[in-house]
Amino acid sequence: MVNALQKSHADGVPADLDEAADLIAAYVRRILAARVYDVAIESPLDRLEKLSGRLDADIFLKREDLQQVFSFKLRGAYNKMANLDADSLGRGVICASAGNHAQGVALAASRLGGRAVIVMPLTTPGIKVQAVAALGGEVVLHGDGYDEAAAHARKIAAAESLTFIPPFDDPDVIAGQGTIGMEILRQHTAPIAAIFVPIGGGGLAAGIAAYVKFLRPETRIIGVEPDDAASMQAAIQADAQVTLDQVGLFADGVAVRRVGAETFKLCRLLLDEIITVDTDAVCAAIKDIFDETRSIAEPSGALGLAGLKKYREREGTVPGALIAINSGANLNFDRLRHIAERAEIGEHREALLAVGIPEQPGSYRRLIQSLGRRAVTEFNYRFAGGSQAQIFLGVALNKGLAEGREIAQALRAEGYSVVDLSDNEMAKVHARYMVGGRVEGIAHERIYRFQFPERPGALMKFLEGMSASWNITLFHYRNQGADYGRVLAGIQIPPGEEASFATYLERLAYPYSDETDNPAYALFLGASPAS
C-alpha cells in the first residue's frame, strides 16, 4: 500500500516534505542531541550472507536484539526520562507495557536513580514480569490487556504524581528511536534502496524516517505490520487515527489497536509504503535470522525481514542495499515449537493438503506411490466410515509454492480430491492435531476460533456465560507460550437462539472468528459421511 498522500518529485522527495521541512529539521536536531548511549550500544549492521545469496540481493540486519534489554525500546525510554526535570524524575515514573517498553523504563530508572512503577497485564508471561523486577521496576499486574493496564497506570500516575512514560507517542521517545536511523547511515555509506521497519505504535518508524529522509530522501522507508494488526495502514488509508476492533497477538510487540497522534503525523508524511505479512512469513523470517546469526528474534523483531522478503519477491532486483530492523529478541522459549512448525510453510517448503482416497486396502500405498520420491512431513488419518477416507497430508517442497500447486494438480489428475490447506489458519493451528474427530448425530453445530487470555479464570468466564441449552461438542487448546491461548470450540446452538448467542459473544469480548464454513472442519471434524 503506497501512501497516496505522497506526491513524489523526480528526485524522490515527497512534496509534503517541502512543506514540513521545519518539523523534520526539528526532529533531526532532537535525534542528534538524544541521550541514549548511557544505556544503549551502537548495534551492529550485519550482512546476511546466506539470504543475500538466496535472494540475489544485498541484505543487512540492524541488530537491536543485542541491546541490554534485547530490544530497541530502551533508547526512547531513556531519552525521555533523561530529559525530565529533576523534580519529575525525583517523584518517579510509571508506564504500561507487557514487555520491551517496561524493561526499557525500568533500566532507565535504575541508571538515573528514580522510581519506576510498571503496570503489566495479568496475562503477561512470568519471564517478562521477572525481567522487569530484576531491573528494579515495581510491577503492578492489572487487566487482561494493554488498554486496561494503561488506564490503570494513568490513575496511579494521577494519584501519586508520577510521570507517565509513553511507549511511542512522544517527541523524546521518537527521537531516541531515531538514533537507529542515524547509526544506519553512518554504518552504511553506500546506496540504500530501502529500510524495513516494524510498526506497532509507530515510534520506531517515525524516528528512523525523520532522520533518513532528511539526509537521504531517495531511500525508501517501508513500514511492516502483521496483516491482523495493521493499525498504521488503516490510519493512513482513512487519513485519520482509527481504533481497530481487535488485533492479532502473535507479534505481541506490535499488537497496537491505535497508533499515536504524533507518530501518525510523521508516518503519514514520511513513509513510502506499508507492507503487511502473515504469521507464516514472520516465522520463516525468525528461522532466517537464526540460520544467519544463531540468535532467535521475537515475532515483532523479525517483522522487518519478513516485509523485506515480500518486497524483494514483488519488486525483483533493486539497486542498493535492503536493510531490516531486528527490533527485539524477548521470546518465551515455549513459543519456539509453534514457530518451528509454521516456518516451513512460511518459507514455502511444505504444502498441507486434504486428500480424499478410497476407503479400501491398498489406498495408502497407491497415494504414496503417486507422490514419487517427495518427502512426506505429515500423514494423519482416522477411520470414519463411508467410501472415502480423508488424509491430512504434509509434503516437503523444494521449489516453493509452484511445486505445491503442481503436486495438488498431479494428484487430482490421478482421480484424488485435493484441497490445499497451506494458507488455512484453522487447519494449521487446530485441525492437524484433531484428525479422526468426525462423529455422527451432531445437528446445529457451529465452530469458532477464540483467543483466550492466558490466565486463570479465562475458561470459567467462557463457560459461565453459556446457556444451558448450548452444548459444547468440540474443544481444542494447545499452549504456545504466548500471553493468549488459541482455542477451537464446537457449540450446538438450537434454532431460534442465534441472537442470544451473538449477545453472549459480545459480552465475552474474546477475539473470535466463525469457522463453520472452513473446509478443514468439513473434511476432518464435521459430521461423518455415515451420519
d(CA 358, CA 78): 65
Distances (CA, A) of 184 to 21, 50, 72: 22, 21, 14
Overall domain count for the chain:
4
Same domain, 399 and 518: no
pLDDT number for residue 481: 57
Residue 9 scores a pLDDT above 60: no
Q: Of 154-158, 227-231, 271-275, 519-523, where does mean pLDDT reach its minimum?
A: 519-523
Backbone Cα Rg of the chain: 25
Residue 4 placed within a domain: no
Domain stops at, among 317, 343, 369: 343
The single-letter code of the amino acid at 346 is G
Residue 529 placed within a domain: no
Q: Of 4-8, 131-135, 291-295, 355-359, where does mean pLDDT reach its minimum?
A: 4-8
Residue 7 placed within a domain: no
Q: Please tell me what DSSP assigns to residue 379.
A: E
Domain containing residue 109: CATH number: 3.40.50.1100
Residue 428 placed within a domain: no
The single-letter code of the amino acid at 246 is Q
Residue 3 placed within a domain: no
pTM score? 0.77
> Comparing 3 with 191, which gets the higher pLDDT?
191
Same domain, 245 and 359: no
What average pLDDT does this structure show over 481-493?
A: 80
pLDDT number for residue 16: 53
Same domain, 150 and 297: no
Compute the CA torsion angle 230, 234, 235, 236 (nearest 10 deg).
100
Beta bridge partners of 164: 94
- Please identify every residue annotated as catalytic: 73, 327
Beta bridge partners of 119: 96, 140
pLDDT number for residue 500: 94
What average pLDDT does this structure show over 99-109?
A: 93
Looking at the chain, the whole-number percentage of residues with pLDDT higher than 90 is 60
> Comparing 16 with 310, which gets the higher pLDDT?
310
Same domain, 178 and 293: yes
Q: Please tell me what DSSP assigns to residue 385.
A: S
pLDDT digits (tens, 9 = 90+) for 113-146: 989 999 998 877 777 888 899 999 999 999 877 7
Same domain, 216 and 332: yes
Same domain, 191 and 292: yes
Confidence band (pLDDT; 50, 70, 90) for 250? Answer: confident
Same domain, 379 and 323: no
Domain stops at, among 367, 396, 423: 423
Residue 440 scores a pLDDT above 80: no
pLDDT digits (tens, 9 = 90+) for 22-37: 889 999 999 999 999 9
The residues, ordered by sequence, that sit 6+ positions from 142 with a Cβ below 8 Å of its Cβ are 119, 120, 121, 122, 148, 149, 152
Distances (CA, A) of 226 to 189, 257, 299, 525: 30, 12, 10, 29
Residue 429 placed within a domain: no
d(CA 493, CA 468): 10
Residue 65 placed within a domain: no
pLDDT digits (tens, 9 = 90+) for 268-320: 999 999 999 999 999 999 999 999 999 999 999 999 999 999 999 999 999 99
Residue 86 scores a pLDDT above 80: yes
Domain containing residue 371: CATH number: 3.30.70.260
pLDDT number for residue 11: 39
pLDDT number for residue 144: 73
Same domain, 371 and 386: yes
Q: Is 85 exposed, middle or buried (0-12, 13-18, 19+ CB in 10 A)?
A: exposed
The residues, ordered by sequence, that sit 6+ positions from 485 with a Cβ below 8 Å of its Cβ are 451, 452, 453, 454, 458, 477, 479
pLDDT number for residue 479: 62
Cell 521545519 sits at which residue?
A: 22
Computed over every residue of the chain, the mean pLDDT equals 88
Looking at the chain, the whole-number percentage of residues with pLDDT higher than 70 is 91
Structural domain of 505: 438-524
What average pLDDT does this structure show over 311-332?
A: 93
Domain stops at, among 298, 326, 343: 343
What H or E segment, with its residue span, contains residue 63? strand 59-63
What average pLDDT does this structure show over 103-108?
A: 95
d(CA 332, CA 320): 35
Residue 508 placed within a domain: yes
